[in-house]
Amino acid sequence: MNENNSRVRFPLMALAMLALLAAMWGGLLRIGWQWPTLRPGLLMAHGPLIVSGFLGTVIGLERAVALSASFKSQRWTYAGPLLSGLGALTLVVGVPGWPGPLLMTLGSLGLVAVFVVIVRRQPALFTGVMALGALAWLVGNGLWLAGWPVYRVTLWWAGFLILTIAGERLELARLLRLSGAIRAAFLVAIGLLLAGLLVTVVAFDLGMRLTGVGMIALALWLLRYDIARHTVRKTGLARFIAACLLSGYVWLGAGGLMGLIFGGVPAGPRYDAMLHAIFLGFVFSMIFGHAPIIFPAVLGIPIAYHPTFYAPLILLHLSLLLRVAGDLAGWFPGRQWGGLLNAVIILLFLGNTARVARKSGDR
Ligand code: HEM
């Protein structure tokens, strides 16, 4: 790996990890664990820290690395993840007011700029869908910067992650040579999702339900047409990734169903269940599945497949089931312990990935 680039990548990854850890601490306080607050505002910074500070920075970094690899060094592409990472740092140290939201909004603007280059160089449906994801992140951050309450923008953040992942899956689905009708069905699902997001701006409840329909449609499409349906019959890493993807799609459908049924809820157990079905069940299953590919690409550290990868995945689903059941049944200890276990399992996943990476590197 280019040494100059690695000098940038490691600190950015460290900022993203700091955001993740601080966000999880804030989430645990919010779910009711009476532990030290550590920093003012950490509880309320949970959502922005984990979505924009952690995921936004990692996704921005991954795009910057990919773009620099295919079209010679493009240093400016690292500005996006740097800005969102600095925004996270601002929130972690407890700077009040607009600096954190502004830095994160500029970070998402950086990702949109990267996608303008990507779409111009490779105009295709899948790059367009990923670009729309970056745009959704920018809109969400922009509304947050303008003073909108976080619950009104979380769906835009969800849209960012869902569209980014859907675009990536569509890219791989090209290998299956899908018919025009199947591609049209994908477009309908994406259209419903986008329409739902736009409607939330003027009619939150209706928009939430429509976004839910879009998520259900997309989950069904992915369960039916994603290449994971084939690769799950293979062995080793290919099967593991497919298991992550397929189980994640089930959570996306569950999150969409809750969105459709509950409509626009601003806080509380239903909000928690719906959001974390998407963010933990869907998004983190994708992260668990892609880590053995993304970490080596971004940090240059090889990670060989190991059967222990399944442990965090299975435990994530079980602990999330406990949390969502606790949320929906009004069983507070189930929700609280489920949330704690979610965080412990993410740490377990990071620890296991680092252990396997060290062993693979030694070899
Ligand atoms: C790992 C353990 C986690 C815990 C303990 C946790 C806890 C919480 C709690 C208690 C809430 C407030 C729900 C309510 O109003 O009742 C919340 C909101 C939220 N969570 Fe999490 N969460 C976790 C993971 C995640 C992850 C992985 C993501 C995203 C990838 C995420 C994104 C969000 C967002 C966007 C909100 C809305 C924030 C707001 O309204 O201020 N959470 N979380």
User: Inter-axis angle of helices 79-93 and 57-70, to 10 degrees?
Assistant: 160
Of all atoms in ligand 1, which is nearest to the CA of residue 55? Answer: 30
How many A from CA of 43 to the centre of ligand 1?
A: 10
Closest residue to atom 28 of ligand 1, CA basis: 279
Of all atoms in ligand 1, which is nearest to the CA of residue 272? Answer: 13
| Whether the predicted pLDDT of 2 surpasses 60 | no
Is the pTM value of this prediction over 0.85? yes
Structure-token match 């910074």, residue found = 45
Of all atoms in ligand 1, which is nearest to the CA of residue 157? Answer: 35
| Whether the predicted pLDDT of 71 surpasses 80 | no
User: In angstroms, rounded to a whole number, what is the distance separating the alpha carbons of residues 258 and 271?
Assistant: 9
Structure-token match 């569209």, residue found = 163
Contacts of residues 233-239 at CB distance under 8 Å and 24 or more positions apart, as own/partner, are: 236/305, 237/292, 237/305
Share of the chain above pLDDT 90, in %: 82
User: In angstroms, rounded to a whole number, what is the distance separating the alpha carbons of residues 193 and 190?
Assistant: 5
Domain ranges of the chain: 1-120
How many A from CA of 315 to the centre of ligand 1?
A: 18
**Residues 325-345, mean pLDDT to the nearest whole number:** 98
Which amino acid is it at 159?
G
Render pLDDT for 118-149 as a digit per residue (tens, 0 to 9). Answer: 999 999 999 999 999 999 999 999 999 999 99
Ligand 1 neighbours, Cβ below 6 Å, are: 24, 27-28, 30-31, 44, 46-47, 50-51, 55, 150-151, 154, 157, 267-268, 271-272, 275-276, 279-280, 283-284, 339, 342-343, 346
Contacts of 114 (CB under 8 A, 6+ apart): 60, 63, 64, 67, 77, 80, 134
Render pLDDT for 212-234 as a digit per residue (tens, 0 to 9). Answer: 999 999 999 999 999 999 999 99
Binned at pLDDT 50, 70 and 90, residue 1 comes out as very low
Share of the chain above pLDDT 70, in %: 96
